[in-house]
């Protein structure tokens, strides 16, 4: 691999300038968009490399903090990439190891006393029991795939358009495709309205429930409507209420529903930390989907800046919040009917511990509980449990 010293120096300077400008108060992707707008002199290759170096750097978590920023990004490139001019320039003796399995590269750096395994994901002691710690750890060093859910009846057309455009994809499920992260689908004519971007594990959560025509369901923390769209695609005759604490996010939901041609739904702004009786009165539902606010730790492969930003104390705060919300929504579930509890967390305090609380204190019986191990398929890792109200 040809190494251009001047070019690498510029890449490192761009990376360090972006990193030092980041205030750690917003998602890095949002910051980076504005950073590039403010630095129009950066070409497309400069932007790609700056983004790559920053995200790889974040994947180190709190590892090797004793080293300089430049030395740490070299380690990050070594762990995250199979080809790297940065590694070839700063650590030429390591170049032959770039293609090794991630586990071997971690072992190599541990053997050199450059990193501690536990620092790559410093909250390992909180992981849910079914999670393979080592495989999960390795997955944090690999960018997840882009997953799309195909609208029912559009499968053949979408695959034809992608094939004609020479876009590589993999069939994962009957309505799910995996593509390389960063694939620009918006530029492909004819695709608009035929798919939704939705992680594989998120799509799997709805597999735990069944709904009947005419039933009344409540998506209690609907956000921008990803799971509601999936639910209605599968059960179009269900009467659905969507709610969120933020009107702005429900406006985004309205736009997505309108684009998808969905008109038959209700929406309400509801603060679920309080009893929703004043808004819902005595309304009872045949099923409730509770995609609870959480740490989002199962999605940090996409937002690795969170690995070092997240405070351990927040885990318990989320767990308390989740229990309170579950208590409030269950007041509006008919006896004998289903609660689907979902998080995109990998922490037991937000998953099994909350489900145990619901079972023991809120009058529900656990029917099925699953950790959706996205780390096995370059996807997000999530948790879902189906409970029935007694």
Active-site residue list = 344
Stretch (H or E) spanning 266:
strand 265-269
**What are 121's two structure tokens?**
């994901």
Asked whether the beta carbons of 124 and 117 are under 8 A apart, the reply is no
Q: Three-state SS for 198?
A: coil
What CA–CA distance (Å, rounded) separates 352 from 385? 9
What CA–CA distance (Å, rounded) separates 256 from 237? 18
What CA–CA distance (Å, rounded) separates 390 from 384? 19
What CA–CA distance (Å, rounded) separates 54 from 104? 23
Q: 39, exposed or middle or buried, with CB in 10 Å at 0-12, 13-18, 19+? A: middle
Q: Find all residues with CB under 8 Å of 176, minimum gap 6, and list them.
A: 147, 148, 149, 150, 200, 203
Residue 286: phi, psi to the nearest 5? -80, -15
Strand pairing partners for 147? Answer: 178
Q: Check whether 254 is labelled as a binding-site residue.
A: no
Stretch (H or E) spanning 283:
none
Asked whether the beta carbons of 141 and 59 are under 8 A apart, the reply is yes
Q: DSSP label at 146?
A: E
What CA–CA distance (Å, rounded) separates 390 from 387? 9
Q: Check whether 104 is labelled as a binding-site residue.
A: no
What angle do helix axes 28-38 and 44-58 make, rounded to 10 degrees? Answer: 150
Q: Check whether 380 is labelled as a binding-site residue.
A: no
Asked whether the beta carbons of 219 and 242 are under 8 A apart, the reply is yes
Asked whether the beta carbons of 335 and 93 are under 8 A apart, the reply is no
Point out the annotated binding site for S-adenosyl-L-methionine: 244, 271, 291
Query: Which residue ranges make up the annotated binding site?
Result: 244, 271, 291
């Amino acid at each position: 691999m040809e190494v251009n010293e001047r070019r690498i120096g510029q890449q490192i300077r761009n990376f360090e300038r972006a990193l030092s400008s980041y205030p750690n108060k917003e998602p890095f992707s949002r910051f980076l968009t504005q950073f590039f707008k403010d630095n129009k002199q950066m070409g497309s290759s400069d932007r790609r490399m700056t983004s790559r170096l920053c995200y790889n750097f974040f994947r180190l978590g709190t590892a090797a903090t004793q080293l300089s920023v430049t030395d740490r990004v070299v380690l990050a490139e070594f762990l995250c990439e199979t080809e790297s001019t940065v590694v070839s320039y700063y650590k030429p003796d390591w170049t032959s190891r770039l293609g090794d399995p991630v586990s071997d590269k971690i072992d190599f750096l541990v053997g050199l006393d450059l990193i501690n395994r536990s620092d790559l994901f410093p909250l390992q002691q909180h992981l849910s029991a079914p999670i393979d710690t080592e495989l999960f750890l390795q997955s944090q060093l690999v960018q997840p795939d882009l997953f799309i859910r195909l609208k029912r009846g559009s499968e053949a057309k979408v695959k034809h358009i992608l094939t004609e455009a020479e876009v590589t994809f993999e069939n994962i499920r009957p309505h799910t495709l995996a593509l390389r992260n960063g694939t620009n689908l918006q530029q492909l004519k004819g695709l608009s309205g035929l798919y939704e971007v939705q992680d594989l594990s998120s799509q799997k959560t709805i597999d735990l429930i069944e709904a009947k025509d005419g039933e009344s369901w409540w998506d209690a923390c609907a956000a921008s409507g990803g799971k509601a769209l999936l639910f209605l695609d599968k059960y179009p005759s269900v009467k659905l209420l969507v709610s969120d604490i933020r009107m702005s996010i429900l406006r985004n939901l309205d736009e997505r529903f309108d684009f998808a041609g969905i008109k038959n739904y209700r929406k309400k702004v509801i603060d679920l930390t309080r009893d929703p009786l004043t808004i819902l009165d005595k309304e009872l539902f045949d099923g409730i989907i509770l995609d609870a606010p959480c740490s989002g730790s199962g999605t940090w492969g996409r937002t690795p800046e969170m690995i070092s930003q997240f405070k351990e104390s927040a885990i318990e705060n989320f767990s308390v919040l989740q229990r309170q919300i579950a208590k409030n929504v269950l007041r509006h579930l008919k006896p004998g009917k289903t609660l689907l509890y979902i998080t995109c967390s990998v922490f037991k305090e937000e998953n099994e511990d909350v489900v145990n609380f619901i079972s023991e204190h809120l009058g529900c019986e656990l029917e099925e509980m699953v950790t959706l191990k996205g780390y096995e398929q370059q996807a997000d890792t999530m948790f879902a449990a189906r409970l029935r109200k007694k």
